[in-house]
């Protein structure tokens, strides 16, 4: 925790007292602001009060006496309609900002650098991978934002410190002075339209990550979705822009269509890096994450050999295609976060000879959209409520075992994979289902998988595998 001095002696309202709200309110108080914090949830208010936050019912406050409203990113700013606190703030003519905007003002003049990552998909893994690569290179790095720690729970800004922040569209919408040294837009697909009204509005908010860049800035953007490239090139500020593709080669930019990352300039290859054998970077979506991380590392002058070594040792995010261990030729992969078919598709596309553990509470459509990947599955081990319906979908296409519980599924799959005569067997937990029939959340399901795998005789657990 460090103080937010940019609002010293000013009256600041904070609405929304989850982790980032409590953290920002505390930082503002430490920086000398007069803080009035509130939440319409009584448990949230009591939790904040217990942590020393000064509580004021904002319903009773004249907003004309305030200098700013710091709004939780989860509270509606524009759609489906502005929150009551936003309406009061606008009527009073005061700015409405988020904790990340307060943080951005603290960065000014500090000598610290900012790497900001946004996008519909892939931003968490990209953020974690960038942080890992830069730390392995010996740089002073803090990772947080929409992933991990709230910004004011990071270390204070100093010269040479690099902040690697994942930013949601909600956070960017409340961050008017966002000016990263490196801005990253992974991709844009329809999402959060209830909060942004239209896809065009959502894309425009995402693309603001580039709007204030200067000549010393770098923007990395995916070009495999047309809208991403269009949004990036229309709001790029004055920074250098670098295109990224995992679907085709590029004459300028970073591309890894077959897992071989190439940096090219004017049609000439500058450097290559083979991603295909890196255990935590399987599949096109992870190759895109790696391209983004490579671009950031090059911006900070990290040698290519150090980038390669760091990526080779990246453990992956817990529960997201995370290789947790090996036993002989068999790899064990925890993809518990795959709670629907779209998420599981990425995992099935990334491996062959799959011993697939699936099931739980199925989403609409079940696993029928995954039919084109069924030939990659050697055997399926079905658990939870969806086991019966999944067995019907797989009948005649994939041999399946009604394991019922994760404990039985791990034992069954580990036994069968060890006897495989085909190369590179993978025991893959990618349920394509919610976990609530057997586990409170996907994290607990993934942790149970890790524990069961760790108990197997002869297992070699990966660094970072115990989540």
Q: Could you tell me if 335 and 252 lie in one domain?
A: no
Q: Is the residue at 112 inside a domain?
A: yes
- 8 A C-beta contact, residue 219 and residue 225: no
**Tell me, what's the pLDDT at 148?**
84
Residues of the domain holding 62: 5-97
Beta-strand (E) ranges in 119-166?
Answer: 141-145, 162-166
Tally of CB atoms within 10 A around 328: 12
**Tell me, what's the pLDDT at 467?**
29
- Return the CATH number at 114: 3.40.1190.10
Q: Could you tell me if 400 and 337 lie in one domain?
A: yes
Total number of domains constituting the chain: 3
> At 64, is the secondary structure helix, strand, or coil?
helix
Beta-strand (E) ranges in 349-412?
Answer: 354-359, 361-362, 377-383, 400-404
Q: Is the residue at 277 inside a domain?
A: yes
**Tell me, what's the pLDDT at 189?**
73
> Among 312, 347, 382, where does a domain finish?
312
**Tell me, what's the pLDDT at 105?**
97
Q: Could you tell me if 294 and 326 lie in one domain?
A: no
Positions marked catalytic: 123, 146, 192
Q: Which residues contact 466 (CB under 8 A, 6 or more apart)?
A: 324, 450, 454
pLDDT digits (tens, 9 = 90+) for 270-324: 999 999 989 889 889 899 999 999 999 999 999 999 999 999 999 888 899 999 9
* Lowest mean pLDDT segment, chosen from 16-30, 73-87, 136-150, 193-207: 193-207
> Among 97, 120, 143, where does a domain finish?
97
Q: Is the residue at 428 inside a domain?
A: yes
State whether the Cα torsion 209-215-217-218 is positive or negative: positive
Q: Could you tell me if 336 and 295 lie in one domain?
A: no
Residue 86: which of 25, 18, 15 has the closest Cα?
Answer: 15
H helix or E strand, kind and range, residue 55: none
Q: Is the residue at 467 inside a domain?
A: no
pLDDT digits (tens, 9 = 90+) for 116-157: 999 877 788 999 999 999 999 999 999 999 888 999 999 999
Q: What length does the chain have? A: 467
pLDDT digits (tens, 9 = 90+) for 4-13: 999 999 999 9
pTM recorded for the entire structure: 0.83
Q: Is the residue at 466 inside a domain?
A: no
- Return the CATH number at 15: 3.40.50.720
On the question of pLDDT at 439 being above 60, the answer is yes
Q: Could you tell me if 78 and 115 lie in one domain?
A: no
Q: Is the residue at 102 inside a domain?
A: no
Q: Is the residue at 81 inside a domain?
A: yes
Q: Is the residue at 317 inside a domain?
A: no
Q: Could you tell me if 301 and 359 lie in one domain?
A: no
Q: Could you tell me if 300 and 190 lie in one domain?
A: yes
On the question of pLDDT at 99 being above 80, the answer is yes
> Among 312, 335, 359, where does a domain finish?
312
Q: Could you tell me if 149 and 41 lie in one domain?
A: no
CA distance 284 to 276: 10
Tally of CB atoms within 10 A around 403: 22
pLDDT digits (tens, 9 = 90+) for 376-415: 999 999 999 999 999 999 999 999 999 999 999 999 999 9
- Return the CATH number at 446: 3.90.190.20
CA dihedral 435, 441, 445, 447 (to 10 degrees): 170
**Tell me, what's the pLDDT at 316?**
85
H helix or E strand, kind and range, residue 163: strand 162-166
Q: Could you tell me if 400 and 332 lie in one domain?
A: yes
Q: Could you tell me if 264 and 228 lie in one domain?
A: yes
Q: Could you tell me if 203 and 141 lie in one domain?
A: yes
Q: Could you tell me if 93 and 139 lie in one domain?
A: no
């Amino acid at each position: 925790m460090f103080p937010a001095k940019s609002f010293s002696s000013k009256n600041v309202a904070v609405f929304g007292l989850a982790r980032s709200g409590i953290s920002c309110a505390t930082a503002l108080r430490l920086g000398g602001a007069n803080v009035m914090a509130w939440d319409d949830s009584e448990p949230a208010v009591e939790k904040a009060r217990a942590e020393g936050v000064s509580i004021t019912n904002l319903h009773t406050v004249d907003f004309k006496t305030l200098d700013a409203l710091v709004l939780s990113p989860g509270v509606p700013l524009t759609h489906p309609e502005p929150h009551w606190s936003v309406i009061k703030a606008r009527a009073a003519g005061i700015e409405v900002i988020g904790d990340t905007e307060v943080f951005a003002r603290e960065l000014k003049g500090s000598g610290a650098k900012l790497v900001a990552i946004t996008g519909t998909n892939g931003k968490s893994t990209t953020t974690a991978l960038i942080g890992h690569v830069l730390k392995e290179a010996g740089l002073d790095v803090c990772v947080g934002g929409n992933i991990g720690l709230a910004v004011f729970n990071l270390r204070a800004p100093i010269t040479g410190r690099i902040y690697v922040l994942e930013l949601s569209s909600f956070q960017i919408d409340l961050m008017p002075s966002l000016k990263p040294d490196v801005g990253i837009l992974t991709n844009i697909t329809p999402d959060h339209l209830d909060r942004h009204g239209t896809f065009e509005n959502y894309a425009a908010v995402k693309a603001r990550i580039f709007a204030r860049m200067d000549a010393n800035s770098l923007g990395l953007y995916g070009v495999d979705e047309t809208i991403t490239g269009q949004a990036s090139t229309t709001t790029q500020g004055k920074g250098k822009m670098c295109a990224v593709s995992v679907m085709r080669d590029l004459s300028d930019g970073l591309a890894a269509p077959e897992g071989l990352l190439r940096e090219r300039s004017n049609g000439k290859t500058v450097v290559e890096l083979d991603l295909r054998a890196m255990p935590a970077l399987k599949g096109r979506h992870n190759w895109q994450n790696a391209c983004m991380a490579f671009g950031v590392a090059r911006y900070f002058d990290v040698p290519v050999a150090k980038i390669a070594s760091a990526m080779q040792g990246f453990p992956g995010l817990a529960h997201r295609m995370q290789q947790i261990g090996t036993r002989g030729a068999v790899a064990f992969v925890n993809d518990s976060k795959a709670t629907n078919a779209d998420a599981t598709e990425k995992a099935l596309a990334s491996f062959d000879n799959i011993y697939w553990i699936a099931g739980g509470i199925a989403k609409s459509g079940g696993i029928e959209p995954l039919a084109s990947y069924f030939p990659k599955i050697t055997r399926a081990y079905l658990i939870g409520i969806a086991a019966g319906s999944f067995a019907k979908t797989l009948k005649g296409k994939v041999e399946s075992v009604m394991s019922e519980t994760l404990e039985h599924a791990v034992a069954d799959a580990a036994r069968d994979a060890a006897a495989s005569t085909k190369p590179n067997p993978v025991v893959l937990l990618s349920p394509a289902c919610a976990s609530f029939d057997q586990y409170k959340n996907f994290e607990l399901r993934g942790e149970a998988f890790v524990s069961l795998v760790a108990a197997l005789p002869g297992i070699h657990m990966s660094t970072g595998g115990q989540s």
